[in-house]
Amino acid sequence: MKLIRFFMMAGLVAGLVAGCGYHLEGGGYINEGVTRVAVDVFENKSSETRAGMSFTNQLIREIQAKTDTAVVDSATATRKITGIVNAITFSALSRTTSETVVERRVTALVDVQLMGPDGEILWSVKNLSSKESYTVDPNKVDDEANKREAVEKIALRSAERVVSQMMTNF
């Protein structure tokens, strides 16, 4: 009787783990059969300079760190990833007075596509949204640094989500 219970519990646990889509992070390709990919610099439609480069660099790092897919130049790749930073917006998160903002929220909207050799879209996401808050500094130089750091965090978070979704085809 104990042996039957053991096998029932083992089967239940195996079913739950398989059913929830649990898998170990790392390894595997970003999409079925994509062993090499080129990553184009993201088009930047936002008013934030270098946002396109930030999102591109973070995506490349994430692909290299978490997958077996090699990032190569466009000449040797049969597949490529393109992206657009549609918007980066800033909003007041907290204030000390009606005129003094002490914390802002940065929100980014990004489109990403994985394209095949014939230009067909193998995978895409539109308006992927990521948010981060930062402390406003009265010193303009320090405030710009805080803002830039928040944009980098959003770029990293977006890259993590894109790679995760590509790998699970979600």
- Taking residues 53-57, what's their average pLDDT? 97
CA distance 84 to 160: 16
Query: For residue 51, what are its two tokens?
Result: 């946002």
Q: Predicted confidence band at 154 (pLDDT cuts at 50, 70, 90)?
A: very high
Per-residue confidence (pLDDT) for residue 5, from 0 to 100: 55
Question: pLDDT tens-digit profile of 123-142?
Answer: 999 999 999 999 998 888 89
Q: Is residue 10 predicted with pLDDT exceeding 80?
A: no
Residue 100: phi and psi, rounded to 5, are -110, 110
Worst-scoring range by mean pLDDT, 21-25, 83-87, 145-149, 165-169? Answer: 21-25
Residue with tokens 């909003």, as numbered in its chain: 91
Within 13 Å and on the Cβ side, how many CA atoms surround 3? 0
- The rounded mean pLDDT for the chain is 86
Q: For the chain, which domains are there?
A: 27-168 (3.30.160.150)
Question: pLDDT tens-digit profile of 89-100?
Answer: 999 999 898 888
Q: Cα 82 vs. chain centroid, distance in angstroms?
A: 13
Worst-scoring range by mean pLDDT, 10-14, 28-32, 41-45, 106-110? Answer: 10-14
What is the chain written as a DSSP string?
-HHHHHHHHHHHHHHHHHHTT---SS-S-SSTT--EEEEPPPEE-SSSTTHHHHHHHHHHHHHHHH-SPEE--TTT-S-EEEEEEEEEEEEEEEESSSS-EEEEEEEEEEEEEEE-TTS-EEEEEEEEEEEEEEE--SSHHHHHHHHHHHHHHHHHHHHHHHHHHHHHT-
Q: Is residue 78 predicted with pLDDT exceeding 90?
A: no
Per-residue confidence (pLDDT) for residue 9, from 0 to 100: 54
Instruction: Give the global pTM.
Output: 0.80
